Amino acid sequence: MNQVYDVIIIGAGVVGSAVAREFARYRLKVGVLEKELDVCCETSGRNSGVLHGGFTYKTGSLKAKCSVEGNAEFDQVAAELDVPFKRTGKVVVGFTEDDMQSLLRFKAVGDANGVPGLEIIDKGRLAELDSSAGGEFAMYSPSSGILNPFIYTVALAENAKQNGVDFYFGNEVLSVQRKNEIYEIATGESFYKARWVVNCAGLNSAKISSMLGIDGYTIGGFKGEYFVLDKKVGKYLNMPVYPAPGSNGGFATHATPTVDGNVLIGPDSTLVADFEDYGVTPAALKGLIVDGAKMFNHVKREHFIRNFSGIRPKLIDKETKQVLDFVVESRSEAPNVINLVGIESPGITSALPLARRTVALFKDQERLIPNEKFNPRRQGILCFAKQSDAIKKELIEQDPNYGEIICRCETVTKAEILQAIHNCLGVTTVTGIKNRTRAMMGRCQGGYCETRIVQLLQQELHKQETDIVYSRSGSEMFTGKVRI
């Protein structure tokens, strides 16, 4: 590719997508390179979907500042980008005197960080807030909330794309060279040229950082496993319920409602060397049942519809083995590079604040001209299932595809699937459709609708059976026709 981009962003997770959107506010040619076939395939799509309050992180740290800032602006962000979001509040529950001490410490940190409204509450108030939560007392954080991490990332990326950013999926960065002040980036697919490079590579951020000339970072992959519970029990949980942190300061298994009405149980935390090790293990799942039941009293096997795991890229101090703060930097040894390393939880809450800091580092060195045509608003796919009968009727009248239910469990219509396929960002994988529409996310996990979704992908994108990909490169679903 001969075009020279002003900025190339490596990684289309929530942070890469947010950075792309923030750069789109200016007159710049921006491209995003992503090794997977869609946005948020790794850390950004594999988490609890919690908008954090910001009470966990060391006062003055980027983690604290960005999460408080990101939390405060999220009502506006959610409205602008049309993403489902609920400011549910959150409780961190305790059982023992030690737990109480730990909650008091957290409250003090949270107050110092500027987290609004934190209070220690007794069992009675806890029961009022959430009758199915475990715990004898709790710290209540009213500003915490829940969001759909897929839809949020998709929304940021779509909005960036609407405003002129180019996305290249299936493009893993293999090498970077700088010649005559231009970075040449080789991916398995093509070559890209850019004046600036932004590293938003998440789990691979240390690797990309080295390629860009900044060595010395160590990322630890902390894997967490989850259960997804049926919507049947969603009504029993009003807000995330976390246990008081243990002596290591980390939160163990919690129970979190999702904006779509399910409940997540998890994550635990184990260190993994392989950053693609998304397998779930019997031991971890067993542990989740025991620990999850302490937080939420409806953890029963009959409600399990799925399990998954995610990996948090923690930046580790080589000597002390301590987990370090987010890094957003621009260094002289790597000119025109903005390096984001170790962005883990609270990465979703912090994505836009981190993106603004990224743009600010660019602005330190170059003049930015606003893009007058920038439109911050993005329209999501209207969820048919959540509409009144009158609106449903109207929708079908306008477009009969609303009358064709593709996913029975989640009542997702053909119109919604078609909108996902024909969106400007596009989607080519079966899981991409799932993450955008909720089709296949219900209790039958695609038993009814997967064949229909495959058929629509084939029809609309003019693909053969053998071209249909489940999630990643190489995940072809079919070997061909049964009979020619």
Partner 1 sequence: MTIMNKEVVIIGGGPAGLAAAVELRKKGIQEIVILEREKQLGGILRQCIHDGFGLTRFKQTLSGPEYSQRFIDLVKKLHIEYVTDATVIEITSMKKVIAASKDGLLEYRAKAVVLAMGCRERTRGAISIPGTRPAGIYNAGVAQSYINLHNTMVGKDVVILGSGDIGMIMARRMTLEGAKVKAVFEVQPYPSGLPRNIEQCLNDYGIPLYLSHTITKIKGNARLEGITVSQVDENMNPIIGTEKDYDCDTLILSVGLIPENELSLACGVKLDSRTKGAIVDENYQTSVAGVFAAGNVLQVHDLLDFVSLEAEGLADSVAEYIQQGELTDCPIDIVTDNAISHTIPQKISGKKDFTLSLRVRKPFKNCHIDVMQSDTVIRTVLLKKAIPAQMIQVKLKETDIKTLDNIKVVVR
Q: Does 463 bind partner 1 (CB under 8 A)?
A: no
Which tokens belong to 387?
């509409």
Q: Which residues contact 4 (CB under 8 A, 6 or more apart)?
A: 29, 182, 193, 194, 195
In the bound complex, what is the minimum distance in angstroms from residue 358's beta carbon to partner 1? 30
In the bound complex, what is the minimum distance in angstroms from residue 74's beta carbon to partner 1? 30
* Binds partner 1 (CB under 8 A): choice among 79, 400, 459, 460: 400
The strand pairing partners of 474, in sequence order, are: none
Task: Tell me whether strands 254-257 and 263-266 are parallel, antiparallel or unpaired.
Answer: antiparallel
Cβ atoms of 415 and 387 within 8 Å: the answer is no
Task: Count the neighbouring beta carbons within 10 Å of the beta carbon of residue 179.
Answer: 8
Task: Tell me whether strands 30-33 and 4-10 are parallel, antiparallel or unpaired.
Answer: parallel
Q: Give the distance between the most distant pair of CA atoms in the chain.
A: 71
Cβ atoms of 29 and 6 within 8 Å: the answer is yes
Q: Pick between residue 54 and residue 446 the one whose CB is nearest to partner 1.
A: 446
In the bound complex, what is the minimum distance in angstroms from residue 371's beta carbon to partner 1? 38
In the bound complex, what is the minimum distance in angstroms from residue 306's beta carbon to partner 1? 3
Task: Tell me whether strands 254-257 and 85-86 are parallel, antiparallel or unpaired.
Answer: unpaired
Q: Does 47 bind partner 1 (CB under 8 A)?
A: no
Cβ atoms of 91 and 140 within 8 Å: the answer is yes
* Binds partner 1 (CB under 8 A): choice among 450, 453, 456, 457: 450
In the bound complex, what is the minimum distance in angstroms from residue 403's beta carbon to partner 1? 4
Q: Does 459 bind partner 1 (CB under 8 A)?
A: no
Cβ atoms of 412 and 449 within 8 Å: the answer is yes
Specify the amino acid at residue 322. Q
Q: Does 34 bind partner 1 (CB under 8 A)?
A: no
Q: Which stretch binds partner 1 (CB under 8 A): 94-102, 206-214, 244-252, 464-472?
A: 464-472
Q: Is the dihedral of CA 167, 307, 253, 320 positive or negative?
A: negative
In the bound complex, what is the minimum distance in angstroms from residue 350's beta carbon to partner 1? 28
**Closest alpha carbon to 44 in 16, 22, 64:** 16
The strand pairing partners of 448, in sequence order, are: none
* Binds partner 1 (CB under 8 A): choice among 98, 122, 460, 476: 476
Q: Does 444 bind partner 1 (CB under 8 A)?
A: yes
Q: Does 374 bind partner 1 (CB under 8 A)?
A: no
Gap between the Cα atoms of 19 and 350, Å rounded: 11
Q: Pick between residue 365 and residue 466 the one whose CB is nearest to partner 1.
A: 466
Which tokens belong to 470?
């489940």
Cβ atoms of 378 and 158 within 8 Å: the answer is yes
Q: Does 305 bind partner 1 (CB under 8 A)?
A: yes
Q: Which stretch binds partner 1 (CB under 8 A): 15-23, 119-127, 178-186, 408-416?
A: 408-416
In the bound complex, what is the minimum distance in angstroms from residue 145's beta carbon to partner 1? 26
Catalytic residue from among 52, 254, 298, 303: 52
The strand pairing partners of 86, in sequence order, are: 146
Q: Which stretch binds partner 1 (CB under 8 A): 260-268, 345-353, 362-370, 407-415?
A: 407-415
Q: Does 460 bind partner 1 (CB under 8 A)?
A: no
Contact map string, positions 255 to 294, toward partner 1, x by CB under 8 A: ---------------------x-xxxxx--x---------
In the bound complex, what is the minimum distance in angstroms from residue 9's beta carbon to partner 1? 24
Q: Does 473 bind partner 1 (CB under 8 A)?
A: yes
Q: Pick between residue 301 and residue 318 the one whose CB is nearest to partner 1.
A: 301
Q: Which residues contact 160 (CB under 8 A, 6 or more apart)?
A: 17, 20, 21, 23, 24, 30, 32, 167
Cβ atoms of 427 and 433 within 8 Å: the answer is yes
Q: Which stretch binds partner 1 (CB under 8 A): 56-64, 66-74, 209-217, 471-479?
A: 471-479
In the bound complex, what is the minimum distance in angstroms from residue 444's beta carbon to partner 1? 5
Residue environment code for 21-31, b if the CB has 16+ CB neighbours within 10 A, otherwise e: bbbbbbebbbb
* Binds partner 1 (CB under 8 A): choice among 97, 216, 389, 462: 389
Q: Which stretch binds partner 1 (CB under 8 A): 52-60, 163-171, 176-184, 446-454?
A: 446-454
Gap between the Cα atoms of 110 and 68, Å rounded: 9
Q: Does 445 bind partner 1 (CB under 8 A)?
A: yes
Q: Pick between residue 161 and residue 303 the one whose CB is nearest to partner 1.
A: 303
Contact map string, positions 172 to 211, toward partner 1, x by CB under 8 A: ----------------------------------------
Is 52 an active-site residue? yes
Cβ atoms of 415 and 384 within 8 Å: the answer is yes
DSSP string for 148-177? -HHHHHHHHHHHHHHTT-EEE-S--EEEEE
Catalytic site residues? 52
**Which positions touch partner 1 (CB under 8 A)?**
227-228, 232, 276, 278-282, 285, 301, 304-308, 389, 392-393, 396-397, 400-405, 408-409, 411, 413, 443-448, 450-451, 454-455, 465, 469-483
